[in-house]
Amino acid sequence: MQANDYQTWAKTTAIYPAAGTGDTPELMYLALGLAGEAAEVANKVKKIYRDTNDDPNSAKAQELKQGTQDELGDVMWYIANLCTALGTTLEEQMAKNNHKLESRKARNVLTGSGDNR
């Protein structure tokens, strides 16, 4: 499946809470949902390290890795719908990020901190 095809499909499954007083409640809903799902990914990874006794091939590690993959799908859903809400596409954002990182790589500033490197 191509990124923009996924984004188009994801929109068909998006149901947002009723609008409150804000102008764009879907942005808040999507951003908070993304943060929550990203936290679930981080928690699964934590459990891989905590619960597998440094054995990445154990059954428990494999189970937790599968769970992490499942959570990544939820992260993708939120990212796709955030792109839609912001009037952009996944592929546009992927291309922009590629350009940014290639520029940093060419200037040897991939490491470090700050948005404008």
DSSP 22-39: SS-HHHHHHHHHHHHHHH
pLDDT digits (tens, 9 = 90+) for 16-55: 877 665 556 889 999 999 999 999 999 999 998 898 887 8
- List the chain domain ranges: 3-12+22-88
Distance of CA 9 to the CA centre of its chain: 16
Rounded to whole angstroms, the Cα distance separating 91 from 74 reads 18
What is the C-alpha separation between 16 and 77, in angstroms, rounded? 13
Residue 111 binned pLDDT confidence (cut-offs 50, 70, 90): confident
Query: How much is the pTM?
Result: 0.84
Tabulate helix, strand, coil % of the chain (nearest 5): 70, 0, 30
The whole-angstrom separation of Cα 79 and Cα 76 is 5
* Cβ–Cβ under 8 Å, residues 4 and 42: no
pLDDT for 98: 96
pLDDT tens track for 53-109:
878 889 999 999 999 999 999 999 999 999 999 999 999 999 999 999 999 999 999
